[in-house]
Amino acid sequence: MSPDIEWQIGEASEQETVVKTQPRPPSRWRKILVGTTLILGASLGVAYSFIPAAPPPRTPTPVSTIPPPPLLEPVIHRESHALATGDESTYLAQQDQVDGAWYRDQQAAFKPWGTPPGDRLYTILEQGYSATGRAWAEVTQWISPDVYVRETRFYQLRETMDGPQWKRARPDRSFWSGAQWRGSSVQFQIAYPAEDNRQAWRVTQRFERVYDILCRDLNCPARTRRRQAIDLIFDPAQAVPVIDVGERLIITLPSPRLLEFHEPYGTADDAVTTLAYRVLLDSVTRQASGDAARWRTNTNGDLILQGVQAWQQLRIQLARATPPEQTFINAPGELWSGPSQGEPGETQQFYRDVLAGAQLMPLAQLWTLPPDALMTSGDGDVVDAEIDALIAFIEERYGNAGVIKLLNALGPARSLEQAIETAFSVPFAEFNQQWQEWIDQ
């Protein structure tokens, strides 16, 4: 029996103690366990005191009740098909009638583009929307066999009886941020909006090609062919091309997105190529004259130069209207090798009839007439017809190459006699006699 158990039995006490147990002292490991538990509990309490309280529940973001703008594709579809088929009423219904001037311009300029033989009428290349109720889309649309027009179209959201609808509108100035980039090509120093980077370079390449064709056809001096510096500026605020002729030629054009760029190159109705020929012809002919700088201070012979420019413009139109259009010139006069004004006999008779009974000015005196003589002189029409007849005579007698040789001699010459003798290697008196017989004077 264990020593801490005691038995007591007594009658007097009428009470008995059966067991009495002495408490055992706690063991060492138990003391350690209890202490560790207390410390751990205290540590957890401190740690939990640093945990932030749970945030209050978020307030739900209210759902906008403003409906999204309608899709842009339906109006582009209607507009493109109306333009293709010549459906003027449907086309004008897609235009912004709130802008009266814009609407009238579209009405006046409307003409059918035609329908392609396949099913690819148009392609939306890129589009975007603004928070101000404006939108834009870069579109290519078929205009003639294998040719597409590439342009950026702008739209304005307008309220109609059927709800908000997109309407074709004038270009949105806010589309352009105002950031301007610069670059250079062989002949051009270029400035253009950052948003027009790809489009500006495409147009510049067209201008480079036209410049090269004109220069080769008119026999620009090789020593100056790579020296010409022309400023080509693309300005979205510019509605029409502007040409500034000074120490440098400055050509300011609208945004290239608005120029009806034709793809691929080489079509007679390509608006960009037509524009390039028009704005570059004067500069290139002066360079091809052999002394481009002298015309700024000495205008003698300018009317003869203008006559050559008019002749070259006729050749450009004939070349571009006869497919395939020349895209590269190997030799002078190659742009158009045929006559510029019809068959030789017919052209001669035409000018004889026009100038019959008129008092022609001696050729030598044509050299000193001022550049504006055709507009200020009472005999301006006669002088104009005489110069055109002279160029036609040279073309018939000496060919296209002969007219180009005359142009190449104009710059350094100090008289028409000197230019003619240099160009044709004949005495001026002999040339003049041939001219008088040809015109029947």
Q: 18-67 pLDDT, tens per residue?
A: 444 444 555 444 444 444 444 444 443 444 444 455 566 666 665 555 56
Q: Which class is 176-288 in CATH? A: alpha beta
Is 345 buried (19+), middle (13-18) or exposed (0-12) by CB count in 10 A?
exposed
Indicate the domain borders of the chain.
73-175, 176-288, 291-441
Cα(402)–Cα(395) distance, integer angstroms: 6
Q: How far apart are CA 379 and CA 364, in angstroms?
A: 17
- HSE-up of residue 437 (Cα within 13 Å, Cβ side): 7
As a whole number of angstroms, the distance between CA 221 and CA 286 comes to: 11
Lowest pLDDT segment from 193-197, 243-247, 263-267: 263-267
For residues 265, 271, 272, 274, the Cα torsion angle rounded to the nearest 10 degrees is 90
Q: Which two tokens stand for residue 13?
A: 């006490």
Polymer length in residues for the chain: 441
**Who wins on pLDDT, 301 or 322?**
301
pLDDT of residue 269: 72
Mean pLDDT over the full length of the chain: 85
Please enumerate in sequence order all residues whose Cβ is within 8 A of that of 253, keeping only pairs 6 or more positions apart, or say none. 203, 232, 233, 234, 235, 238, 241, 259, 275
Inter-residue contact 411 to 355 (CB < 8 Å):
no
Cα angle 196, 201, 202; round to 5:
100
Q: Is the peptide bond before 62 cis (omega within 30 degrees of 0)?
A: no
Q: Do domains 73-175 and 176-288 have the same CATH topology?
A: no
Q: Which of 420, 356, 360 is nearest to 386 (CA)?
A: 360
Residue 127, pLDDT above cutoff 50: yes
67 or 401: whose pLDDT is higher? 401
74-112, pLDDT tens digit by residue?
999 999 999 999 999 999 999 999 999 999 999 999 999
Beta-carbon contacts of residue 72 (< 8 Å; ≥ 6 apart): 127, 129, 135, 137, 155, 166
- Return the pLDDT at 192: 97
d(CA 156, CA 98): 10
| Two structure tokens written together for 336 | 């158009």
Predicted TM-score of the model (pTM): 0.79
Q: Which of 190, 187, 234 is nearest to 208 (CA)?
A: 187
Among 115, 137, 133, 111, smallest CA distance to 124 is for: 137
3-state SS, residue 156 = strand
How many Cα neighbours within 13 Å face the side chain of 218? Answer: 32
Is there a contact between 201 and 263 (Cβ–Cβ < 8 Å)? no
Backbone angles phi, psi at 117, to 5 degrees: -70, -25
Which tops the pLDDT comparison, 239 or 413? 413
* Both structure tokens of 66: 């403003």
Burial class (CB in 10 A: 0-12, 13-18, 19+), 367: buried
Q: Which CATH number fits domain 73-175: 3.90.120, 3.30.1490, 3.10.450, 1.10.3470?
A: 3.10.450
Which tokens is 365 given? 């005196």
pLDDT of 248: 86
β-partners of residue 193 are 180
Nearest to 173 by CA among 127, 125, 130, 110: 130
Question: What tens digit of pLDDT does each residue of 171-216 get?
Answer: 999 999 999 999 999 999 999 999 999 999 999 999 999 999 999 9
The contacts of residue 287 (CB under 8 Å, 6+ apart) are 215, 220, 221, 224, 225, 228
